[in-house]
Chain A
Amino acid sequence: MRPSNTVEVLYHDHHHWLTGWLRRKLGCPQSAADLAQDTFIRVLTARETPTLIEPRAFLTTIAKRVLFNHYRRQDLERAYLDALAQMPEFAAPSEEERAIILQTLMELDQLLDGLPVLVKRAFLLAQLDGLTYGQIAAELGISIATVKRHLNKAAMRCYFAL
């Protein structure tokens, strides 16, 4: 059986069940349907579809990841909108820019995922605020050597996902 057929069968047999599972987690039918869709898209774009002995366990594994990202995006978007509301109107980005900025931030957040907070902050201070190592060290209360180590780590992640 070809992989596409496997996904088709998977979708046909378990889509309804998965949507129900997600609805119980989310309490929102609309989001549950969207995330079920996202889950199957992930299955489709996965490099290899394993031979499925336990299709529902496989699907929930992926759905949990989708669910986590969903919450993460919600948190990020909320913090983004809060910060946006505090900016003076004349300096705030335009409507079109806002969507691009939010998208970029979400990608950046995923790339830097798992790095310590200070590593992320050092990276933003260097890349967006244009600070020198000395200024970052003073801002974060760490040594210049640590700043360098943090920036190196963040750069490897951000540029090369390493």
Chain B
Amino acid sequence: MNPTANFSTQVAEQAVQWLMQMQQGPLNPRQQANWQHWLDAHSEHQRAWEHIQRVNQRLRGMPSPLAHAALNAPQSSSRRQALKLLLILGAGSAATWGLRQQHLIPPLTADYRSPLGQRRKVQLADGSQLQLNTASAVDVQFDGPQRLIRLLEGEILLRANTPLQIITSQGIVTTQAAQVNVRQFNDHTQVAVLDGQVQMSPKSYNGLPLTLEKSHLANLTRKGWDMPRPTDANTGAWADGMLVASHMRLADFLEELSRYRRGQLQCDPQVANLLISGSYPLDDSERILDLLQISLPVKVRRFTRYWVSVEARV
């Protein structure tokens, strides 16, 4: 199957233009509308877009040092010889992509979005204050008395002045005047109350909601919640640009840190259970990695600047 042959140059150019625009940062609402318009305009546009997503899906997860090394492989003399032979004859044709993965990435559309490694403050129409942590997205719907915030991905800190509802993949969080931190994980939502109180209702559950009190946090799944426990110093610390660890496992610490930086951050299982404490400024993750080497028996190896592993020091 040769999918590349099925697209006109013009459509290919347009699809690549949109891809590049999205890679540059979130689309504003007008661009989103234009993109949607383009996508809906013709089935060939949709096929081209899906094709790009499938190729990207295949590239995703590839260890980048391997790709950089392989594609920049030095030419052996026999290949140079063969190349000379070939150049005399004219160029070869390009191979085509086999399509195995069917999973497509949903389009990036949201009212408010924060790029990776950045935080964003938004003042809502009712005076409530919303902060978005790294790589987060929300839709905000204020229709009369109905005030909804849909957390699409990432983490938010909300200082609500009026009654509000936050919808996540697992359920609904209802607040009066309260300060609440909500984080969307893959399979659950973590809700932490910094001030006031909130009610949480799982999606597939009809009983009474859980009331979560000030200085408590709990995890919400579609069917229920776990035992509320006290918040810690790290709860909402990101809003001040800090990562606060108190006897945190190194593996968990690095996972947290990697939310804020580009590239891959790997942790050697040998050092995964080392414990780390302290306050770390999120805006300089390189420095945090350097500091790790001083405070723990670990070595930070940078294969490329964006592919880093933390290993046991031998």
- Find out whether the CB atom of B64 lies under 8 angstroms from the CB atom of A124: yes
- Find out whether the CB atom of A88 lies under 8 angstroms from the CB atom of B59: no
A43 within 8 A of B: no
Q: How far is the CB of B240 from chain A (nearest CB, A)?
A: 25
- Find out whether the CB atom of B66 lies under 8 angstroms from the CB atom of A64: no
Among B4, B73, B303, which residue has its beta carbon within 8 angstroms of that of A160?
B4
B43 within 8 A of A: no
CB neighbours (8 Å) of A102 from chain B are: 70
CA distance A61 to B92 in the complex (A): 11
CB neighbours (8 Å) of B82 from chain A are: 64, 67-68, 70-71
Report if A75-B268 is in contact (Cβ < 8 Å); known contacts: A65-B86, A129-B64, A130-B263: no
List CB contacts (< 8 Å) of B250-265 with chain A: 262-263
For A77, A105, A152, A156, which residue has the most chain B Cβ atoms within 10 angstroms?
A: A105
CA distance A34 to B309 in the complex (A): 40
List CB contacts (< 8 Å) of B13-67 with chain A: 13, 15-17, 19-20, 23-24, 48, 51-52, 55-56, 58-59, 62-67
- Find out whether the CB atom of B95 lies under 8 angstroms from the CB atom of A107: yes
- Find out whether the CB atom of A156 lies under 8 angstroms from the CB atom of B262: no
- Find out whether the CB atom of B59 lies under 8 angstroms from the CB atom of A104: yes
For B5, B56, B262, which residue has the most chain A Cβ atoms within 10 angstroms?
A: B262
- Find out whether the CB atom of A101 lies under 8 angstroms from the CB atom of B63: yes
Report if A128-B85 is in contact (Cβ < 8 Å); known contacts: A79-B74, A152-B16, A156-B16: no
- Find out whether the CB atom of A130 lies under 8 angstroms from the CB atom of B65: no
CA distance A104 to B54 in the complex (A): 13
- Find out whether the CB atom of A105 lies under 8 angstroms from the CB atom of B63: no
Report if A121-B20 is in contact (Cβ < 8 Å); known contacts: A71-B78, A127-B59, A161-B96: no
A148 within 8 A of B: yes
Which residue of chain B lies nearest to A109 when distances are taken between CB atoms in the complex? B71
Contact with B along A49-84 (1 / 0, CB 8 A): 000000000000100110111111011111110111
CA distance A108 to B97 in the complex (A): 8
- Interface size class on chain B is 35 or more
CA distance A64 to B94 in the complex (A): 16
CA distance A111 to B23 in the complex (A): 21
CB neighbours (8 Å) of A126 from chain B are: 23
Q: How far is the CB of B10 from chain A (nearest CB, A)?
A: 10
Report if A120-B72 is in contact (Cβ < 8 Å); known contacts: A75-B79, A88-B301: yes
- Find out whether the CB atom of B79 lies under 8 angstroms from the CB atom of A68: yes
Q: How far is the CB of B148 from chain A (nearest CB, A)?
A: 31
Contact with B along A114-147 (1 / 0, CB 8 A): 1001001100111111111101000100000000
- Find out whether the CB atom of B20 lies under 8 angstroms from the CB atom of A155: yes
Among A80, A111, A156, which residue has its beta carbon within 8 angstroms of that of B95?
A111
B195 within 8 A of A: no
Report if A121-B72 is in contact (Cβ < 8 Å); known contacts: A71-B79, A128-B59: yes
Residues of A within 8 A of B (CB): 61, 64-65, 67-72, 74-80, 82-84, 86-88, 90-93, 101-102, 104-105, 107-114, 117, 120-121, 124-133, 135, 139, 148, 151-152, 155-162
Q: Which 7 residue pairs are nearest across A and B when measured between Cβ atoms?
A: A83-B69, A79-B73, A71-B79, A160-B12, A68-B82, A161-B4, A128-B64
